[in-house]
Every structure is written in structure tokens, then in C-alpha cells.
Amino acid sequence: MEILGLDIGGSGIKGALVDTDTGNLLTERHRINTPEGAEPEDVAQTVNQICQFFEYIGPVGVGFPAIVQHGIVLSTANISKNWMGLNINALLSQRTGNPIFSVNDADAAGIAEMTFGVGQEYQKGVVILLTIGTGIGSAIFSDGVLVPNTEFGHLKIRGKDAEHRASDAMRQSEDLSWKKWGRRFDEFLLELEKLFSPDLFVLGGGISKKFEKFSKYFSVQTRTIPAYLLNQAGIVGAALFASNQTKN
């Protein structure tokens, strides 16, 4: 099935047509900068621009950087506070004319990785996927089943949210070396290891391309690997989520 997948991030909104049977992108990604402030109406207009760019009519999967429960936005850590309580599916459907199916962005990436990526080998046990960018998103799977909206990036490490110490945005804003940032992120992994005893950590987001530069500073014992789909996972997973919703 061919579905448009969108990944709404803190810096950019990216989309591509996805073959949901194979997980392959059928087009190049099209990216538009996230409107300053990420206000609902501005984001909705940008999403419509991407739909128009692909001349697409049909179901759209949207990965969104917040807790999304049955289409309702329930957190606003890295987006405008005006999203709180909004029905994102209804808003984006009205602006695009397409049926919209939204899901937490890290959960979308996790769905993609468990279906088409490294998770195929880990359908038993506990897998934690972490997306590293403006914040830190998380998805946890037990025996291949997603527990949605975990938001582990808000766990407290040294008195701060983990993402306020160890996101890629913090690495860049504080001009941290790979060694210093890698050790910060290792602290976060060690806390998750203590809490969940996972079988595997999967690291996604654009920084996963640099995995070899920082992973050598990890002391965590759990196997830790980069996401197979890298920063395409959010788009693929969003499209797959929409596909699954249309079948239900």
C-alpha cells in the first residue's frame, strides 16, 4: 500500500511516499522548516503544503513530538502549549482534506524498526528505541508489542530531564565533544537499563549516523546499536501506523 508518511520535528517537517508492504521510500523526502513556535495552525498549513507537493490524496500517517492518545495531544514539551488538548487528527484532516492518523513520533520510529529494521530479530524480550534530536523520544516493546507514549526523555538525570542534558540539541548548543556527550547519554542508558533490563537499545534520529563517534564511550551492558532505518524511521512508521488504522 502506498501512503504518505510525515515526521513533524522541532526543526523540520519531513514527508515521503512509503510502500507499507516493504518499508521503502517511493520518493525523495520533502522537508519544510517547522514554523517558528510550532503553533497548531502554522503546522497544519505546512502539512498541507507537503500533501500538495506530492499531489497526494488518501490516508496520511503523522509522527508528532508529543503524547498522542486517540488523536488528542496530551503533552507540549517541545511544541506550542496551544496544542494541549487539541484533536490533531481533526485539525490536520480539515486543513488537508485527507484522513489523518497521528502517533507519537518515537512510537512511529519504533514501529518501523520493529517491522522492517533491527527489531525483526527481537520479537521476544524488551526493546527500547530512543530517537535523539531536539529532544529524546522513546518507544518500548515487550515481545514485539508497543507500550505507547512512554516519554523516557523526561526521566530525571542529575536533577534535569534527560533530554535537557543529552539530546542532540544540547550537544550542539553546549558544543560538547563526542566523549562528553557520549558519557552523558550513557548515564541515561544506565538508568533505563536499571529500570527495565532491556534486551536491546536502538538509537535513532540523525545523530545515529555518527554512532561510532560516541558509542565507544558507553559503559552500559545492554546491546546498543544504531537504528537500521536511521532518520527515515519516523516517516516509515507513521505511514505504517496509518495503514494499520485503515485496516481496523
Q: What is the pLDDT of residue 43?
A: 97
With a cut of 80, say whether residue 231 has pLDDT above it: no
Confidence of residue 206 (pLDDT cuts 50, 70, 90): confident
The whole-number average pLDDT for the span 139-155 is: 95
Confidence of residue 232 (pLDDT cuts 50, 70, 90): confident
With a cut of 90, say whether residue 34 has pLDDT above it: yes
The pair phi, psi for residue 169, each rounded to 5°, is -60, -40
Confidence of residue 235 (pLDDT cuts 50, 70, 90): very high
Confidence of residue 247 (pLDDT cuts 50, 70, 90): confident
Q: What is the pLDDT of residue 10?
A: 80
